[in-house]
């Protein structure tokens, strides 16, 4: 996929960080990552890790293991919600401090 298209998809995801009112909204956010040619597992893990990275979180080995577990054992829309919560909490913290 071209870099421009990939960046456009990423911006679309950032716009779709919630709050989610329906499962369908979260599914649409998760699908953006899947359309980048990633498997469902790698797309779910990528959205979680990138949300943590954007928030400036340092991940330890066990943190990463839990994110891998969540990405591998849950539905991608639920990972989109968790990633959205992380990003929104980070943005709220920046706005408040």
Tens-digit pLDDT profile for the chain (97 aa)?
Answer: 455 666 666 666 666 788 999 999 898 888 877 777 778 788 899 999 999 999 999 999 999 999 999 999 868 999 999 999 999 999 999 888 5
Structure-block tokens of residue 91? 């943005």
Radius of gyration of the chain (CA): 13
Query: What does pTM read for this prediction?
Result: 0.79
Do the beta carbons of residue 56 and residue 90 sit within 8 Å? yes
Number of Cβ within a 10 Å radius of residue 71: 22
């Amino acid at each position: 996929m071209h870099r421009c298209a990939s960046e456009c998809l990423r911006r679309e995801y950032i716009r779709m960080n919630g709050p989610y009112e329906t499962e369908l909204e979260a599914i649409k956010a998760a699908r953006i990552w899947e359309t980048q040619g990633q498997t469902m597992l790698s797309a779910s893990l990528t959205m979680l890790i990138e949300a943590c990275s954007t928030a400036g979180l340092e991940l330890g080995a066990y943190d990463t293991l839990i994110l891998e577990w969540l990405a591998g054992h849950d539905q991608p829309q639920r990972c989109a919600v968790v990633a959205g919560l992380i990003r929104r909490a980070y943005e709220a913290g920046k706005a408040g401090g």
